[in-house]
Amino acid sequence: MGECVSLASCEILCVGTELLLGDTLNTNARFLSRELADAGFTLHRQAVVGDNPERLHRDFLTAWERSDFVILTGGLGPTADDITRETVCGALGIELVESPELLEAMQTFFCIRSLEMPKSNRRQAMVPVNAELIMQNSEFSERLSQKRDVINNSAFVFPNPHGTAPGIAITQNGKCAILLPGPPSEMEPMFRQSVRNFLAPWIDGILISHEVRTMGIGESAMAEAVADLLDGQNPSVAPYAKSGEALLRITAKAKTREEAEVLIAPVLEEIKRRLGGFIYGVDVPNVETVLLDKLCKAGKTLCTAESITGGGIAKRLTDCPGASKILLGSIVAYCNEMKQGLLGVSAKTLQENGAVSEQCAIEMAQGARKKIGTDFAISTTGYADGNEQLRANVALDSEAGTQVQHITFARNNRKANKLTAENTALWLLMQNI
Ligand code: ATP
């Protein structure tokens, strides 16, 4: 994992009252945060401001004062409440003029859709005076491959093949404001096709990160075990939780990949020393991929007998290419009759211990392994929500014997509890291959 890095600071300002009211989910902020982080920019803030010129003016200038890049989305449309272009250019003292080329491109946009262009759309042809209009991406890339000091104190207009509002970039005194349309269907392609190229001259280093994936330990326990390392700046170490797992991301900034790796190596070693037993991989996509790989190398096969997870384990495994050589089959036995009929769980167990008992999980795993004929079988049974005591049992059966693990769920959350049962079963298997 490695990306280029810019030491420039960056903030995102999304404009739109509908975002403030919660009518529209701010997916632009998420998209831009990820893209900017991938490009190596240091994102300092995100904010939302309604369609109010005074507040936008103030918030924009505050952001402009403290950051090198301010990226805005929304408010570039044709109606009176679309205020971004006028407000930002007003704040920067930039005059707007109508671009005949843009007006023509806009008329063509409507014409090929057999629509008449509403008069109000004319506003969208207003661009900063002397802005460079780039209607072809190849030409654009070439222009922007120049050094950033050459493109300082300029304005650029990004084409919008999916709508009528063009994007605008303004560079002034070493800073840059980028105005992008609100609709994600317009903003995202514009970012990928034009803005990325535009940002390239600001990127001048490398950012490397490694992701340490753990299981069997909660996020806070993991963070506690490495608490002193979390204060580091370069490399930085950040804990987070994802799909029921606790992860650590180690990130270093340096001039070259090699230098970044040298910074990371001792910290990664220390993390491995402290969390070794819980780490299932570094820079791996997920636990199921690692598990299938281990089983493949060991020449072993697997089947599942699932109740609470409803085939979720089998789904995750079959999402990985090449799973068919290892996962021979899966039985989803949800009701007692199926546990008995398909897996051979005894009537006595079901009556005396119940369907979510340890004994039932054991018999499910044993029954599946016998029926499907694999080296390993994992089973799950439990109550994911409702009024019962929320709990599950997962079992693993192999030539070496049968093991069972009990889980007590802390929350009444069906989805999260099912995921915990899946992960516990997969982790039990991982520790025993
Ligand atoms: P238009 O030309 O369509 O008016 P615009 O640049 O003026 O574009 P807005 O009017 O602010 O954009 O927003 C148009 C639509 O785009 C919104 O109704 C919403 O559906 C979507 N949108 C705007 N901002 C965001 C955002 N931050 N995240 C997700 N969707 C957004």
Q: What is the pLDDT of residues 20-78, one digit of tens each?
A: 999 999 999 999 998 887 777 888 999 999 999 999 999 999 999 999 999 999 999 98
Does residue 146 carry a pLDDT above 90?
no
- Mutation test of ligand 1: which of 20, 21, 76 has the most ligand atoms closer than 8 Å to its C-beta? 76
Q: How far apart are CA 405 and CA 428, in angstroms?
A: 8
Asked if residue 326 lies in contact with residue 360, where contact means CB atoms within 8 angstroms, the answer is: no
Name the residue at shortest CA distance from atom 15 of ligand 1: 183
Name the residue at shortest CA distance from atom 13 of ligand 1: 182
Residues 299-354 pLDDT 10s: 999 999 999 999 999 999 999 988 999 999 999 999 999 999 999 999 999 999 99
Asked if residue 106 lies in contact with residue 118, where contact means CB atoms within 8 angstroms, the answer is: no
Q: Give residue ranges with CB within 6 A of ligand 1.
A: 14-16, 18-19, 24, 26-29, 73-77, 82, 163, 165, 181-184
Name the residue at shortest CA distance from atom 11 of ligand 1: 74
Could you tell me what percent of the chain has a pLDDT over 90? 61
Name the residue at shortest CA distance from atom 21 of ligand 1: 183
The model's pTM? 0.61
